[in-house]
């Protein structure tokens, strides 16, 4: 088994654990913690998509990941700006 594949699998396991932790963060009471958890969830999902796409050579995973990363972060910043003004 290739060492790169093993490390990618290790990263996938770490990302799944992190996804569960971000779900726990999202369930906290305040709105800010929901935003923080959502942005972290977006990053973890992007990384997971790219890793899986690299392992199985699926090209469009990269496009989905790029859209998810950009829209997720920009949306979170926009909602934070609205929340600050409100």
Partner 1 sequence: MMFGIDPGIINMIQSILLVISALLILIAVVGVLRIDRNLDNVVYARIHILGIVDIAGIIAFLALGQPLFALIYLFLAPLLAHALANAYFHSEDTLNNPVLNPNLEETSDEEEDEDETDLVDEVLLEDNLDMSDDSSIDENLDEKSEDDGND
Q: Least distance to partner 1 from the beta carbon of 34, Å?
A: 10
1 binds partner 1 (CB under 8 A): no
Element (H, E) at 45: helix 31-56
3 binds partner 1 (CB under 8 A): yes
Its sign, for the CA torsion 55, 43, 27, 74, is: negative
CA 51 to the chain's CA centroid: 12
Q: Which of residues 15-74 bind partner 1 (CB under 8 A)?
A: 15, 17-18, 21, 24-25, 30-33, 35-36, 39-40, 43-44, 46-47, 50-51, 54, 62, 65-66, 69-70, 73-74
Structure tokens at 56: 């199985």
């Amino acid at each position: 088994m290739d060492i790169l594949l093993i490390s990618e699998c290790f990263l996938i396991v770490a990302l799944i654990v992190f996804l569960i932790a971000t779900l726990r963060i999202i369930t906290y009471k305040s709105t800010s913690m929901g935003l923080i958890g959502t942005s972290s969830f977006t990053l973890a999902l992007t990384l997971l998509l790219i890793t899986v796409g690299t392992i199985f050579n699926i090209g469009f995973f990269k496009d989905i990941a790029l859209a998810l990363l950009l829209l997720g972060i920009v949306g979170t910043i926009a909602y934070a700006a609205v929340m600050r003004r409100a």
